[in-house]
Amino acid sequence: MEMLLCQWQKNNPRIIAMDGDTKNSTFSGKLNDYDSERYIECFIAEQNMVGVAVGCATRDRMVVFASTFAAFFSRAYDQIRMAAISMTNANFVGTHCGVSIGEDGPSQMALEDLAMFRAIPTCTVFYPSDPVSCERAIELAANTKGMTFSRVGRPTNAVIYANDEVFEVGKAKVIKKSDKDVVTLIGAGVTIHECLVAHEALKDSGIMTRVIDPFTIKPIDQETILAAARATGGRIITVEDHYPEGGLGEAVMSAVSEERDIIVRKLAVPRVPRSGKAAELLDLYGINAKHIAQAVKQILKK
């Protein structure tokens, strides 16, 4: 994200960035190094940072990106809610989401952020899964009317998409597909990579799955999800590095709620987590490839 904004700043003086004293972790400091006149350090005052972002974005004077750990936006939810009433175009970027941040521990793990921002009526919620989709999400956020939130993980994920892949708001990507698919797997961020590992393991045992990356959680791609559900016997498994309430799983359930004969199994972080290595925590809380494969076999028995 930071390198992309630096490139944009060369050609567009309206682009500015700000951070809540996490620039060494979010790497927003690169923007400060490039042009300190268009970077605002808001320190550990997230409520103030949101207010500054909204003020700078007023009347489309600036294209604003405010970043911090996604968990810390909870401190500023009153300001975020009021910003929606003001019809702001500010863009918020939350990093270090979920148990996959590992050793930093539960105080730093954003596990409620999707629920928070999905509840804001003017907010578009991006959840990219690799570097290419992250860059496209930031591009789209800059050109999307209303507030945006981009959920960016900490782990270094493998590249899924080609550099010229086209992304759209509200359009999912079907990464794996065949005529023999019996279950649809939907993940985002770190969990889409776990879905892909599970897909290969299940394929080796003769079980075919369809894998979908939603890209935006709000709006969710209802058309693609329903088509996949119908093609896979009405079986969907969602996997998210987030609490069960208000996240990817419930967005998918909302999308299929008026359709007959569809069952959605949610895999999510079921309780307040502990600190540990990322891979260990994904396993402990049931959202890694092993648990996805088990869930597929279980849902096929129903």
Angle at alpha carbon of residue 182, lines to 180 and 188, rounded to 5°: 110
CA 185, 188, 193, 194 torsion-angle sign:
negative
Burial bucket for residue 13 (CB in 10 Å: 0-12, 13-18, 19+):
exposed
Neighbouring C-alpha atoms within 13 Å toward the C-beta of 289: 15
Q: Are 191 and 233 in contact (CB under 8 A)?
A: no
Q: Which residues are catalytic?
A: 46
Angle at alpha carbon of residue 247, lines to 174 and 67, rounded to 5°: 95
Residue found by looking up tokens 């609490």 in the block = 243
* Cβ-based neighbour number of residue 59 at 10 Å: 6
CA nearest neighbour of 17 among 33, 4, 32: 32
